[in-house]
Amino acid sequence: MGYSKTDELAINTIRTLAIDATFAANSGHPGAPMGMAPVAHVLFNKFMTFNPKNPDWANRDRFVLSNGHGCMLHYALLHLFGYALSMDDIKHFRQVDSICPGHPEAHDTPGIEVTTGPLGQGFANAVGLACAQAHSAGVFNKPGFELFTNHTFMFFGDGCAMEGIASEAASTAGHLQLGNLIAIYDDNHISIDGDTKCAFTEDVSKRFEAYGWHVQWVKDGDHDLQGIEDAIQKAKEVTDKPSMIRLTTTIGFGSKLQGTGGVHGNPLKEDDIKQVKEKFGFDPAKTFVVPEEVYDMYHKHASEGAAAEQEWDSMFEKYASEHKDLAADLKRRLSRKLPEGWQEKLPVYKPSDKAIASRKLSESVLEAIHEAVPELLSGSADLTGSNNTRWKNAVDFQPPSLGIGEWSGRYFRYGVREHAMAAIMNGLSAYGTVIPAGGTFLNFVSYAAGAVRLSALSHQRVIYIATHDSIGLGEDGPTHQPIETLAHFRALPNFMVWRPADGNETSAAYYVALTSTGTPSLLALTRQNLPQLEGSTIENGIKGGYVALEDKEAQITLVSTGSEVSLCLEAVKYLKDEKNVAARVVSLPCFEVFDAQDKEYRLKCIPDGIPALSVEVMSTMGWEKYSHEQFGLNRFGASGPYKDVYKKFEFTPEGIAKRAVATIDFYKEVKPLRSPLQRAFLQLI
Amino acid sequence: MGYSKTDELAINTIRTLAIDATFAANSGHPGAPMGMAPVAHVLFNKFMTFNPKNPDWANRDRFVLSNGHGCMLHYALLHLFGYALSMDDIKHFRQVDSICPGHPEAHDTPGIEVTTGPLGQGFANAVGLACAQAHSAGVFNKPGFELFTNHTFMFFGDGCAMEGIASEAASTAGHLQLGNLIAIYDDNHISIDGDTKCAFTEDVSKRFEAYGWHVQWVKDGDHDLQGIEDAIQKAKEVTDKPSMIRLTTTIGFGSKLQGTGGVHGNPLKEDDIKQVKEKFGFDPAKTFVVPEEVYDMYHKHASEGAAAEQEWDSMFEKYASEHKDLAADLKRRLSRKLPEGWQEKLPVYKPSDKAIASRKLSESVLEAIHEAVPELLSGSADLTGSNNTRWKNAVDFQPPSLGIGEWSGRYFRYGVREHAMAAIMNGLSAYGTVIPAGGTFLNFVSYAAGAVRLSALSHQRVIYIATHDSIGLGEDGPTHQPIETLAHFRALPNFMVWRPADGNETSAAYYVALTSTGTPSLLALTRQNLPQLEGSTIENGIKGGYVALEDKEAQITLVSTGSEVSLCLEAVKYLKDEKNVAARVVSLPCFEVFDAQDKEYRLKCIPDGIPALSVEVMSTMGWEKYSHEQFGLNRFGASGPYKDVYKKFEFTPEGIAKRAVATIDFYKEVKPLRSPLQRAFLQLI
């Protein structure tokens, strides 16, 4: 109880570091760090348990700065507590290749849990982290062994509060009764356009109550450290609801421009810095100053965290002797390695096996591997029966009090909340004990684009199960039929887009998705049935592309994915019978993985000397890398039975053959006719 | 007062039409139409004013079915009231080229105001329609001439209620005090995954109250027609708040599966249909039956609507004599034509003019044309100062009671709600009197992808002002730097992506965006300054691409957009001086518009005989259509001063020159070397 001069000094040290760093960078956001330094100080120093020397400790408290533009707040804290983030790093805030980039990036900076900045994302990530904690506790905690007890703390501002993704995530968290989640709302009345009265006059507290949250209000977030402490303490004591603490603060506290938008996204001016530092008792002539007693105070707390980890390690040792399998499982999960031999469970198909929709093939994979891969947590954004994401005996991930599931349940009912689903999955993945897979229609992954991008940027092993992948969904029509979607996600760096053509390719897609620890994946799956292909094997599939039908005399290569590969095989027969043209077929289920194969292999697939024609019932964009000519759909689709829709757009053996012949004719005279894989220079990656 | 047997018969006619149409299509959603038929009947027949013979009447009441999968409800009503939607059309529900597609499409079906189905969109569209009404009333209504008085009625279900976009839009509507908006929440406890208790247990009514809505609850939506009527009447009387009526209904009312997910997305079985029809007093042996008294009742209401329009027309005639200019302006707006000569206001630049960021150039356009184009309604998702979307003397669009704007104001403060902004703009555009333009960072247009797609599909003239368009934004870093974004939107059909290189191109982009009545546009604009180019004119720009620097001896064409065009011009000098290589430059600000030029023109820009190298600091995807080789950024960016970031990725004259030389070498031996514009066959459009 009680706060001293040192506390005040620590708070002002955080503030002046944010001031100095943004000034040095001539860029950045000093306002939020200056306004939130008091609550950050209380939270980190009084409540949070962590060990800066091991930012990966499994049971550390998690902190998420959803208003990520205020990241100098977090960088300052990480430095002061002794994470591997030096004063020199802070001096290089917002400089190329610094570990203090303009917004927090999980992959590069120790102590940053998730990548935030795009507003609302961190909010939903925190919900995911809290879900992962509840789930891990449900799976691993045993009487006397409370392995997973950590809290997830999250700061968010008015910007996050306005974003739909945060609304979706807050509704989810309320439903799930996440007592381990404590969110602090920086109620400073300021967003970039100025006073929130211009656009945001709702009653945020009442809204969170409606979601089922426990809500408090601390009216003087600038000074009332004890009030902040009491509120956080009370929030911890509420264990059957997530907590939201509305904290009224002054943005840019101390600045001449405090309380205005002027201090949100611009460094303070020199004279303003001078007066702030004087007011705070700092020497205006000096920059990047940390009083020794501040380091001492924070290092003391850090060493308590290190001790807590040691204690946990001892507990874990005992746990390992009493619950050998669970302990081994947990260790393995944390290493991000899959159980040995799991891949032998993957379904294998013969060409004589019956035609099945790839969404059903995906279901068979989940059915086959879910026992072998216990960290897999499936789910859907309210399309379970359509996405086929649920194995038969799955238990729902639910608070036990609802009577419809368990914390240890492995099926997540995300509701119709695609964007939050994706960002919650990013949080689940970031926790370290779970591999999340979530379903929706491919077209509606676009609703989640903001979060999908961050799956890729922050290297999360997240799997998007995206069914109803084309005009092949038929009657639902153009509002539901993806055209641009695969181009969009294929253009996203560090992201694997799979469009398997049959059962073996679907198994291959899961194999690569699950074993790629730092890359998210999307599986585009059909509603309609697909035959099992002759040349398809899991081994071929995991190369991202392979020759599905070879013909040494071929005059053209047909390159295709998913439902159009079998159509191309039909077109080959038609070409032979009706046009006396020999053709070969390449299946290319994943561009990104195919690109990673050696050039010799790739050129065997798409060789020099004959033209290649791509066939895919959506935007042709991106196919020029793998084909000379492209047959696709650069317009919206149509509502009708899918065979009629395919016919309307000439996706028939005849339609393909016509274009194949035109392509052969067109390239006859070109010498040398190089494979489109032959490039003049390599791209930077 | 009082409801008769005919009312009941009408309700059951709607239900059986939905049953028959989904059964005939063997596809579709009978549950929502069967559950919502009572409220639809009361609303359409007692409250809504419309003339089926003129679905474009400016002051018609608007109806939006946000749960668009229930569209058979709306198609049935449109048919019954006498819109140009025949029984034969209904019999072709969900068939190729029918005007009754699987989800409602505004562009093709008379009486459908906006395209819905993707959940939550219609909710936000309705907010946009209501805003447009309030704005149009603010601009055009005069004492004695209440030209714009219509209401916007909207149905939404649990799915919409869960979507973040609807939350954003509801918060916006509450802030704006839209008393002309009445939303009916189909509280049937069922979503696709079954009972909403699985994922959605919040207090929706309380949430809407928190947003500032007037909320009522009708507990028996299946039978209580009078209660429904009273609630809608009361909602109309509340003029300073939007209204939400929670209506508890039974999904699939009458079916054996009523109240379950089984009736949501599947046609009823034959035996179920038999019992429903018998229960409703319909002959089970007959299909698509409409009793004459139902037609009579609805046609009577329709004729009242036609009379109301006539009355309005007479009022408008008088208005035209007393307010000549306003009347002419309104007529012109409704014709979607711009005022004569408006384009002469577009800023024109000389090469000697100073370098300016294209976001500022965009601001200059808005400043220059806003008086000439009064239907332009600008705005931003809380990035006004960064997007430069506000002309100097703009008045905010706000409810006057807030004291910070007027209904007639033309600047929309969307808050940090990108997705709702886009969908609200779709609604604003659909109303017919407004051209909306809304700003955010290019990277965050992705948050709005679901609605942007519908701008394109539903042919709305919406302008996305997307600033901070590349790594050129610098310090904010990879979380904010678009890589995949332009590829994504370039792959979207019926959508124009502009990335102007200077002032004249920016003016050209606005010219084409504003004059394209059925196509939305996105303007990707820089944060950093751009020089005014030698070859650039508005006339060149509106072709979507042109030769920015010609050289008849050129060994290579550099094709580029935006900030990289001037870099290419520098590279040309470097190539000449350091490598003795002649190069020419093509600026390609808009692929879609360039594609629409004749082939001769396009081949003049990107000719046969020499290779073309594209240069753009983002994903290379899509550039293969215009170049043989691509220099881009197929990885995430970096946080730092933008010049450092450009240098890191070799976007310098040297970096371009190196790749140009490699490209020339690589293509030396290829004969004939065709322009990438030469294709073997034409795409279907």
The pLDDT tens digits for B60-117 are 999 999 999 999 999 999 999 999 999 999 999 999 999 999 999 998 899 999 999 9
Query: Which is nearest to A542 in space by CA: A500, A576, A584?
Result: A500
* Nearest Cβ partner for B681 among A198, A636, A659: A659
Residue B378: φ, ψ to 5°: -90, 175
Q: Is B70 on the interface with A (CB under 8 A)?
A: no
- Would you say A480 is a known binding-site residue? yes
Structural tokens at position A244: 């939201």
Q: What percent of chain B has pLDDT over 90?
A: 98
* Nearest Cβ partner for B620 among A172, A175, A683: A683
Tell whether A521 and A560 lie within a shared domain: no
Q: What are the DSSP calls for A483-516, one per residue? A: SSHHHHHHTSTT-EEE--SSHHHHHHHHHHHHH-
Residue A366 lies in a domain: yes
Instruction: Check if the beta carbon of residue B582 is closer than 8 Å to that of residue B557.
Output: no
- Would you say A158 is a known binding-site residue? yes
User: Which CATH number is A579's domain given?
Assistant: 3.40.50.920
- Among B418, B505, B616, B629, the one annotated catalytic: B418
Residue A313 lies in a domain: no
Residue B264 lies in a domain: yes
- Number of helices (H), then strands (E), belonging to chain B: the values are 25, 20
Contact: A622, B622; criterion CB under 8 Å:
yes
Contact: B164, A162; criterion CB under 8 Å:
no
Q: What is the mean pLDDT of residues A55-80?
A: 98
Instruction: Check if the beta carbon of residue A567 is closer than 8 Å to that of residue A653.
Output: yes
Strands A529-530 and A356-357: antiparallel
- Does the structure show a pLDDT above 80 at B403? yes
Q: What percent of chain A has pLDDT over 70?
A: 100
Query: Which is nearest to B486 in space by CA: B382, B365, B623?
Result: B623
Residue B129 lies in a domain: yes
* CA–CA distance, B311 with B173 (Å, rounded to integer): 30
Q: Which of residues 105-124 of B touch A (CB under 8 A)?
A: 105, 115-120
3-state secondary structure of A419: helix
Q: Which of B306, B330, B364 is the last residue of a domain?
A: B306
Tell whether A472 and A363 lie within a shared domain: yes
Q: What is the mean pLDDT of residues A243-249?
A: 98
Q: Is B168 on the interface with A (CB under 8 A)?
A: yes
Residues of A in contact with B483 (CB under 8 A): 491-493
Q: Which of B281, B306, B331 is the last residue of a domain?
A: B306
Tell whether B120 and B259 lie within a shared domain: yes
Contact: B487, A622; criterion CB under 8 Å:
yes
Residue of chain B nearest A471, judged by CA positions: B96
Mutate: best of A639, A666, A674, A678, partner B, most B CBs <10 A: A639
Q: State the pLDDT at residue B397.
A: 98
- Does the structure show a pLDDT above 80 at A1? no
Torsion of CA B67, B73, B74, B80, to 10 degrees: -170
Q: What are the DSSP calls for A631-660, one per residue? A: E---S----S-HHHHHHHTT-SHHHHHHHH
Instruction: Check if the beta carbon of residue A455 is closer than 8 Å to that of residue A476.
Output: no
Torsion of CA A279, A282, A285, A286, to 10 degrees: -150
* CA–CA distance, A406 with B423 (Å, rounded to integer): 38
Residues of A that are catalytic: 418
Place of tokens 């691409």: B545
Residue A90: φ, ψ to 5°: -65, -35
- Would you say A103 is a known binding-site residue? no
* Nearest Cβ partner for A480 among B103, B168, B659: B103
* Nearest Cβ partner for A640 among B94, B478, B650: B94
* CA–CA distance, B418 with B167 (Å, rounded to integer): 12
* CA–CA distance, B123 with B183 (Å, rounded to integer): 8
Strands A194-195 and A190-191: antiparallel
Per-residue pLDDT of A111-153, as tens digits, reads 999 999 999 999 999 999 999 999 999 999 999 999 999 999 9
Q: Is B444 on the interface with A (CB under 8 A)?
A: yes
Per-residue pLDDT of B418-444, as tens digits, reads 999 999 999 999 999 999 999 999 999
Mutate: best of A382, A386, A496, A626, partner B, most B CBs <10 A: A382
The one-letter code for the residue type at B633 is L
Using pLDDT thresholds of 50, 70 and 90, give the confidence band for residue A394.
very high
Contact: A450, B457; criterion CB under 8 Å:
no
State how far the alpha carbon of B467 is from the alpha carbons of A242, A266, B346, in Å.
37, 18, 20
- Does the structure show a pLDDT above 80 at A685? no
* CA–CA distance, B563 with B173 (Å, rounded to integer): 38
Contact: A117, B386; criterion CB under 8 Å:
no
- Would you say B413 is a known binding-site residue? no
Instruction: Check if the beta carbon of residue B225 is closer than 8 Å to that of residue A215.
Output: no
Strand partners, A153: A63, A182
Q: What is the mean pLDDT of residues B188-211?
A: 95
Per-residue pLDDT of A613-670, as tens digits, reads 999 999 999 999 999 999 999 999 999 999 999 999 999 999 999 999 999 999 999 9
Per-residue pLDDT of B546-595, as tens digits, reads 999 999 999 999 999 999 999 999 999 999 999 999 999 999 999 999 99
Tell whether A53 and A96 lie within a shared domain: yes
Mean pLDDT of chain A: 97
Contact: B172, A199; criterion CB under 8 Å:
yes
Q: State the pLDDT at residue B356.
A: 98
Q: State the pLDDT at residue A524.
A: 98
Residue ranges with strand state E in B381-451: 411-413, 435-441
Q: Is B395 on the interface with A (CB under 8 A)?
A: no
Q: What are the DSSP calls for B146-168, one per residue? A: ------EEEEEEHHHHHSHHHHH
Query: Which is nearest to B216 in space by CA: B182, B189, B249, B188?
Result: B182
Contact: B119, A674; criterion CB under 8 Å:
no
Per-residue pLDDT of B15-57, as tens digits, reads 999 999 999 999 999 999 999 999 999 999 999 999 999 999 9
Tell whether A234 and A121 lie within a shared domain: yes
Contact: B382, A199; criterion CB under 8 Å:
yes
Q: What percent of chain B has pLDDT over 70?
A: 100
Residue A229 lies in a domain: yes
Q: Is B633 on the interface with A (CB under 8 A)?
A: yes
- Would you say B444 is a known binding-site residue? yes
- Would you say B527 is a known binding-site residue? yes
Contact: B417, A162; criterion CB under 8 Å:
yes
Query: Which is nearest to B484 in space by CA: A439, A452, A383?
Result: A452
- Would you say A119 is a known binding-site residue? yes
Per-residue pLDDT of B334-359, as tens digits, reads 999 999 999 999 999 999 999 999 99
Tell whether B257 and B404 lie within a shared domain: no
Mean pLDDT of chain B: 97
Q: Which of residues 589-628 of B touch A (CB under 8 A)?
A: 611, 619-622, 624-625, 628
- Tell me A190's DSSP state: E
Instruction: Check if the beta carbon of residue A523 is closer than 8 Å to that of residue A355.
Output: no
Residues of B in contact with A267 (CB under 8 A): none
Q: State the pLDDT at residue B478.
A: 98
* CA–CA distance, A101 with B480 (Å, rounded to integer): 11
Q: How far is B435 from chain A (nearest CA, A)?
A: 21
Tell whether A280 and A357 lie within a shared domain: no
Domain span including residue A370 = 342-530
Tell whether B224 and B275 lie within a shared domain: yes
Residue A685 lies in a domain: no
Q: State the pLDDT at residue A91.
A: 98
- Would you say B159 is a known binding-site residue? yes
* Nearest Cβ partner for B164 among A211, A419, A444: A419
State how far the alpha carbon of B215 is from the alpha carbons of A208, B61, B183, B247, in Å.
17, 21, 10, 11
Residue B332 lies in a domain: no
* CA–CA distance, A227 with A350 (Å, rounded to integer): 67
Residue B479 lies in a domain: yes
* CA–CA distance, A424 with A427 (Å, rounded to integer): 5
User: Which CATH number is A481's domain given?
Assistant: 3.40.50.970
Contact: B98, A420; criterion CB under 8 Å:
no
Q: Count structural domains, chain A.
A: 3
CB environment A480-511: b (16+ within 10 A), e (fewer): bbbbbbbbbbbbbbbbbbbbbbbbbbbbbbbb
Using pLDDT thresholds of 50, 70 and 90, give the confidence band for residue A108.
confident
Q: What is the mean pLDDT of residues B476-500?
A: 98
Contact: A629, B680; criterion CB under 8 Å:
yes
Q: State the pLDDT at residue B107.
A: 83
Mutate: best of B488, B610, B630, B683, partner A, most A CBs <10 A: B488
Query: Which is nearest to A17 in space by CA: A280, A257, A301?
Result: A280
- Would you say B208 is a known binding-site residue? no
Tell whether A173 and A269 lie within a shared domain: yes
Computed over its alpha carbons, how large is the radius of gyration of chain A? 28
Q: What are the DSSP calls for B598-644, one per residue? A: -HHHHHHHS-TTS-EEEE-SS--TTGGGT-SEEE---S----S-HHH
Q: How far is A630 from chain B (nearest CA, A)?
A: 8
Residues of B in contact with A75 (CB under 8 A): none
Q: State the pLDDT at residue B1.
A: 54
3-state secondary structure of B390: coil
Q: What are the DSSP calls for B60-90, one per residue? A: PPEEEESSGGGHHHHHHHHHHHT-S--HHHH
Q: What is the mean pLDDT of residues B202-228?
A: 98
Interface size, chain A vs chain B, as Cβ–Cβ contacts under 8 Å: 422
Structural tokens at position B302: 């329709």
Mutate: best of A98, A156, A416, A673, partner B, most B CBs <10 A: A416
Q: Is A420 on the interface with B (CB under 8 A)?
A: yes
Contact: B167, A164; criterion CB under 8 Å:
yes
Residue A122: φ, ψ to 5°: -60, -35
Q: What is the mean pLDDT of residues A469-493?
A: 98
Residue B661: φ, ψ to 5°: -65, -45
* Nearest Cβ partner for B210 among A203, A650, A669: A203
Q: State the pLDDT at residue B685.
A: 61
- Does the structure show a pLDDT above 80 at B207? yes
Residues of A in contact with B101 (CB under 8 A): 477-478, 638-639
Instruction: Check if the beta carbon of residue A59 is closer than 8 Å to that of residue A150.
Output: yes
Is residue B508 within a helix (H) or strand (E), and if so which, with residue range? Answer: helix B503-515
Contact: A480, B681; criterion CB under 8 Å:
no
Contact: B447, A118; criterion CB under 8 Å:
yes
Structural tokens at position B385: 């100062």
Tell whether A420 and A447 lie within a shared domain: yes
* Nearest-5° Cα angle at B429, B423 to B430: 90
* CA–CA distance, B629 with A680 (Å, rounded to integer): 7
Residue of chain A nearest B632, judged by CA positions: A683
Instruction: Check if the beta carbon of residue A70 is closer than 8 Å to that of residue A252.
Output: no
Residues of B in contact with A683 (CB under 8 A): 620, 630, 632, 634
* CA–CA distance, A646 with A682 (Å, rounded to integer): 37
Mutate: best of B175, B198, B443, partner A, most A CBs <10 A: B198
Tell whether B288 and B390 lie within a shared domain: no
Tell whether B285 and B377 lie within a shared domain: no
Q: What is the mean pLDDT of residues B626-655?
A: 98
Bond before B672 cis per omega within 30 degrees: yes
Strand partners, A186: A157, A247
Q: Is A203 on the interface with B (CB under 8 A)?
A: yes
